[in-house]
Structure 1
Amino acid sequence: MKGTFMIIGSSTSWSAFLILQSNTLELYPAELTLTALICSMGAVMSTTVALVANHASSKPWIIVLDKRLLAPIYTDYWSYYNGGMSLPTHVGKKQRLSKLI
């Protein structure tokens, strides 16, 4: 039951965002600036949610040089230079690497 409400809420939020974005583009036609604003607001909101979820603890934010950091970097390096993975897998690795860094 909880998943159903989450899907309905997600769909409603996404449709409201698209409506708001189309209205904003009519008034403010600079698409690149709008994209930068949306991305920066998403970063601020994600950081806020992460800080609240971790009760303002700094421990999850510390980057440690261990296998959890080195494994995605090595895999990305290997797949890029050796062509060992297909494009969708490579894009997925890039996204996971950017979340780590």
Structure 2
Amino acid sequence: MTPMEKAGWTPLPHSDEDLERAKSVPDTPQTRADTYRLAWNDPDFMTRRELRAVRLQLELLKPEMILAERGIQSTVILFGGARIPEPGGEAWAAKN
């Protein structure tokens, strides 16, 4: 958090403030149009094929941010599985 954010000021409004402001817009045919929806809160827009790279970036960014928030600096990821054979039995998984 920056010193300005600690003091309660940020250059951009928070997303919850944007949502509240969008809800207070007068209900007219023009404001009901899809183009008036906030882009990040518009499922039709966010699921467009052209935004696939953006969605992938968000999927990678989300866990990275959560790990950083919790102070986790590194992790170990294991792919696959382990099969432990019964004692005295044949190690079937090691052969396949």
On whether the aligned pair clears a TM of 0.5, the verdict is: no
Q: TM-score, normalised by structure 2?
A: 0.31
Compare relative contact order (CA 8 Å, sep 6+) and give the higher one, 1 or 2. Answer: 1
Q: TM-score, normalised by structure 1?
A: 0.30
The structure with the larger Rg is: 2
